[in-house]
Amino acid sequence: MSLDPSPARSRPLASARRAAAAALLGAVLAMVVAAPSASVVAAASVPPVGGGATAVQTDLTSGYVEGIDVSHWQNTINWVRVAAAGKKFAIIKASDSTDYVDPLYVTNRSNAQANGIWTGAYHFARPDASSGDSVREADHFADTVRLGPGDLIPALDLEQSGGLSIAALQTWVTTWLGEVTTRTGVRPMIYTSPAFWKKYMGDSQALADAGYKTLWVAHWNVSTPWVPANNWGGRGWTFWQYSNCGTVSGISGCVDLDRYNGIDLMPVAYSAFKLTATTGGQVKQGQTGSATVGIVRMNFDAEVALDVSGLPTGAAAAWNASPTAETSSALTVSTDAAVTPTGSYPLTITGVGDGLTRTTKVTLVVADGIPPTLVAPWTKLMAGTTLDSTVPVLVSWGATDPSGLSSMPLQRALNGGSWSSVALPNLAVRSTWQSVAVGATVQHRVRATDRLANVSSWATGPSVKALLTQQTSTAIRYSGTWISQAASSASGGSVRYSTAPGANATFTFTGGSVAWLAARGPTRGSARVYVDGVYAGTVSLYASSGHSRAIVFARNFGASGSHRLTIVVVGTAGHPRVDVDGFLRLSIS
């Protein structure tokens, strides 16, 4: 990795690098600036302290794990022999700049893992001031790198400043790290030398404090590395490249030697998780639905705290305990029938664990869970009908549902008896004519089921008794000239009529519906009608042919009460006669 030039350039000979290092013998921090084809060569390229870069061969030391970092410069590697030499990890070059892919990355990774060696991947950074350069390099690396079981977290190899100022380079590095974190799901480690970090990154510990806690420090030929950024924010080094020219069986020539500060590589493994979600189907309003959130773990055993956003109004979510080693968690969503609207709602499920955040999407479908809305049947008298042996009444009701209705039975009970079904032609009807014998009591009820199988309760209307008051009743007060006349076609065998303008008949009653019975014909005239003293309209009894027991006027009140119906003869020229055959009323209880 150290002083890794562009792909077109050859790697400097170890002897030349050692000579450069010797020239700086005794320097506490050394930095070589300006190779002919590169404006800045980082301190990691040469030993920052001490003498020549003598090859150092170390094996597994108590408290440490030994490894290497390699690229195509090592050519074909015998990974069987590397493993036999005790190397437990290899950090492998994957990419460079915005378009270069190390040609041996895939092969090295595969063969190293096949021999039980942990593998990591690094990107050689070439910062420049062009807009979006850091994101392009990060995306190129993320597109190239392969991360999975057996991998360490990825690494940024920072050896060049690209001529950027300290602030600009800090921004470049921060952006690169953020983009790779987003793309891979883990925070990368940072490779640098102490001298480079101090000179070109201002010795800042901001990234260490921001969660990029893994430092891979390059400091050769010393017993203990110097760690920049205030000992990397107090965390110290995690990986240490302690030699740039080691000898390892299975590799021809020099190879960088590294050491891990610990004996278990799991804390720096590609440790991540992702979320999946499957629903148990749609949930009805007022009911509870469920979803299973899968937690796919990649060497990740930290607790994952789960949350969900995007719930509709009135909905509430609950989780089982945040899982630690579990691979799933149950989400239940309860809805409020009164306020949760139907529809499809995209939910975002967020998992947070060990500083990582993952999201997944799931669609909550809230279906109609509310039974059809009903208006109980009501019964009324209507003008334009005829009294025969029974009283014609119109039974009406209401039924609505956003999902549509699948059934709507209407039933009636006569004189307090059992309920029986009333045939309806289709689901669209909301009224039907019924016949009720005078003196009989009828009651109706309706129930509905919508297309999502939500069933309403029965909506029961009041009991209604049909009553007939003949024109001879004392409940009718006549004023003016009225004449009684036998008529076999009349409801009671006779009628009263008047031709005198202003003559009137007032029916005082208790009920919820009232109707005036009269005869229509070519000799009949008009009358003004008043209800409780208020003009209700003028009724014409004229017809080209005779029609007895006609219901010529009706008024419905909804509930029983005391009322007055007054008929006033107009005295129509040529056919002034107005008949009173009787009055129908419905007693509602």
Residues labelled as active-site residues: 69, 157, 159
Q: How many CB atoms lie within 10 A of CB 62?
A: 5
Nearest of 443, 333, 437, 339 to residue 397 by alpha carbon: 443
**Computed over its alpha carbons, how large is the radius of gyration of the chain?**
47
Q: Give the span between the Cα atoms of 560 and 542, in whole angstroms.
A: 31
Phi and psi at residue 371, in whole multiples of 5°? -60, 160
Q: Give the span between the Cα atoms of 162 and 168, in whole angstroms.
A: 10
Helical packing angle, 133-144 and 166-184, nearest 10° = 30
- Half-sphere exposure (Cβ direction) of 29: Cα atoms closer than 13 Å: 11
Q: Is 194 helix (H, G, I), strand (E, B) or coil?
A: helix
Contact predicate 84/96, CB 8 Å: no
Contact predicate 382/554, CB 8 Å: yes
Q: How many CB atoms lie within 10 A of CB 271?
A: 21
Q: Give the span between the Cα atoms of 494 and 513, in whole angstroms.
A: 23
Q: How far does the chain reach from its first CA to its final CA, in angstroms?
A: 96
Phi/psi zone of residue 310: left (φ > 0), alpha (ψ -120 to 50 degrees), beta? Answer: left
The sheet carrying 356-367 orders its strands as: 283-284, 356-367, 343-353, 305-309
Contact predicate 492/523, CB 8 Å: no
Q: Give the span between the Cα atoms of 97 and 6, in whole angstroms.
A: 9
Contact predicate 127/160, CB 8 Å: yes
Supply 187's token pair.
């925070």
